[in-house]
Amino acid sequence: MKKIFGKLSELYKKLLKESLRSARAFPSLAARPGAVAVWLIRSHVAQLILLLTLLLMPTIIPAASDKLMEAIYRPVTNKVLGVLPVRQKNPKLELRKEQARILLWYGSGFVVFMAFWLSIPGALKRSDAIASNIEGEADGLVKTKPLDSVILYRKALRFATSSSVRESIFLKTEKLDKLLVDVGTGDRTVVMNSPPPDREPSERYEVREEVGRGAMGVVLKARDTLLERTVAIKELPPHIAKDKELLGRFRREATLLAKLNHPGIVQIYDFAEFDSNAWIIMEFVEGEELEAVLARRGKLSESELLNLSSRIAEALLYAHAKGILHRDLKPSNILISESGIPKIADFGVARLTISAGETKPGTILGSPIYMSPEQAAGRSADGRSDIYSLGAIMYRAATGAPLFEGSAIEVIAKVLNKEPVPLRELSPDISEEMSALIMSMLSKDPAARPKDVERKLNSLTKTIN
C-alpha cells in the first residue's frame, strides 16, 4: 500500500511540475495566433484522448459504470410483515449511478483539459520550428523578392514564441527595412553601390553628364550626334550586361517597349551593346519629376490634378491596350516637361528588373507606398494595379499627404490591411465626385476599381471647367 501511495505521490508531483511549466508558457502561446493553431492541431495525444472520450462516454463507459455500481450496491433482502423475505433493489443504487456518471464526465473533461494543457510546451517548440522554417524561406528571397521576404517574416512572427527566434526575425526585418525606402519622408528610392560608367555606348552618343540613378543602373545625359538631339541613356548593371541570357531578355523587353509611341510616355529609341556593356537610349525630358513638384508645392488644385491625371491615365490605358504594364508607377517616375506635359518614365522597368531574376548591386528597390495590395502580397498584377498606383499618386497630389506613413514594412502591412483616411477629411476643397473616383481607384479589390478612369476624368474636367 505504501508503494502505491508513493507512486501516486510521485505522479502528482510530476503533474504539478508540468502543469506549472505549462502555466508559465501559456502567455507566450496566447500572444501568437499561429502558435495557438499549432497547439490545437498538433497535440495528437490530447486529440486522441478527446476522441476516445467523445466515443466512449456516451456508450460503453456509462454502461460499465452502471454494472460496477450494481455490483457494489447489491439488492437488499427485507422481510414483509416481518416474516416473508423479499429481495429489493438497493435504494442507493440509482443515486450512486447518477453520481458516478457525473463524476466520469467531469473526470474525463479534466483529463482532456490536462492533456491539452500539458502539451503546451511541446507546441511552443513545434511553433518555433515552423517559424524558423518560414524564416529560412524568407532568407532565400531577400535578394530576389524583398517584399515577399517581408511578408514571410511577418508570417514567421505569428508562430515565433521564444525570444531568441523572435529577435532573430526582428533583426532581419530591421536590416531589410534599411534596404527598402523609408516612406515617411517621401518615395525616394535607394541605390545600392551602382558603379559609374567607364565608357560611352558608341561614337554616335556623346555623354555629357550623369543625371541620376535608375532601376537599371546609371542614367546619363548624352548627345545623339547623328540626329542632333539630346537623349537619356541608362547603363545596365554589369551582372546583366555580362549575362547573355539576361541580356537577351532585356533586349527583347526593350524591343517591346520601344513600340510604345505616345506623347505621355518616355520613348525608347535604341539598345546598344559594346564590350560587355549595354545601354538603353531613350527620350530626354527637360523638366522635373512630379515628386519634386509635390515636395515643393505640397498639393495641386483640383483643375491641375484633373489635367495631370487624365493625361497619365490616357498614357497608361494606351500601354495596357498594347499588353504592357508599368508595375512601378510613382511620382518619381512621372516627368513634367517644361511645357507642363506629364510623361511616364521607366515604363516596364519593374518587368525588366524582374526579368533579371535577382537583385544585384546597381538594382534599386521601389517604395511600396504606391504599390497595389495584390503586388504587396506577391500576387500577379494586371492593368488594375497601375490604376491603383495612379489613385495613390492622385491622393497625394490632392491632399499633400501619402496614403500611409511609416517604414516600408509598416506601409506594406497598411496597404494590405488598412483603409486610407477619406480624402475629403484631409482636403475638403476637393469635389465629392473627384474624391469618390480616387477612393474607388484605391479599392483593395481589383474588381472594384473603375475600368473607365480616363472617361470619368475627362467628364470631371468638363464639369470643373
All residues at 6 or more sequence positions from 65 whose CB lies less than 8 Å from its CB, including other chains:
97, 100, 101, 104
Q: How do the domains of the chain map onto residue ranges?
A: 1-74+92-180, 201-283, 287-355+363-464
Written as nine digits, the cell of 146 is: 524583398
In 54-187, DSSP assigns E strands to 76-80, 84-88
Edge-to-edge strand order for the sheet containing 342-344? 287-289, 334-337, 342-344
Q: How far apart are CA 316 and CA 310, in angstroms?
A: 10
Q: What is the pLDDT of residue 52?
A: 87
User: How does strand 217-224 pair with strand 334-337?
Assistant: unpaired
For 376-415, b/e burial (b = at least 16 CB within 10 A) is: beeeebebbbbbbbbbbbbbbbbbebbbbeebbbbbbbbb
Q: What is the pTM of this model?
A: 0.57
Q: What is the pLDDT of residue 363?
A: 34
Q: How far apart are CA 158 and CA 36, in angstroms?
A: 10
Do residues 216 and 350 make contact, with C-beta atoms less than 8 angstroms apart?
A: no
Written as nine digits, the cell of 17 is: 511540475
Written as nine digits, the cell of 230 is: 539630346
Q: How far apart are CA 115 and CA 25, in angstroms?
A: 15
Residues in the chain: 465
Q: How far apart are CA 38 and CA 33, in angstroms?
A: 9
pLDDT, tens digit only, all 465 positions of the chain: 667 777 777 777 888 888 888 888 888 888 777 888 888 888 888 888 888 888 888 888 888 888 888 888 888 777 666 666 777 788 888 888 888 888 988 888 888 888 888 888 888 888 888 988 888 888 887 766 666 777 788 788 888 888 778 777 777 766 665 555 433 333 333 333 333 344 456 567 888 888 876 555 678 888 888 888 899 888 877 766 777 777 777 777 778 788 888 999 999 888 887 667 788 888 999 989 999 999 999 999 999 999 999 999 999 999 888 888 888 899 988 999 988 899 998 875 555 544 444 333 333 334 688 999 988 887 888 889 999 999 999 999 999 999 999 888 888 889 998 999 999 999 999 999 999 999 999 999 999 999 888 788 777 766 665
382 is catalytic: no
> In this structure, which amino acid lies at residue 234?
K
Q: How far apart are CA 277 and CA 200, in angstroms?
A: 9
Per CATH, the number for 201-283 is 3.30.200.20
Half-sphere exposure of residue 62, counting CA atoms within 13 Å on the CB side?
13
Q: Cα 400 vs. chain centroid, distance in angstroms?
A: 26
State the CB neighbour count (10 A cutoff) for residue 186: 17
> Which of the residues 128, 187, 328, 386 is marked catalytic?
328
Q: Which CATH class is domain 287-355+363-464?
A: mainly alpha
> In this structure, which amino acid lies at residue 57?
M
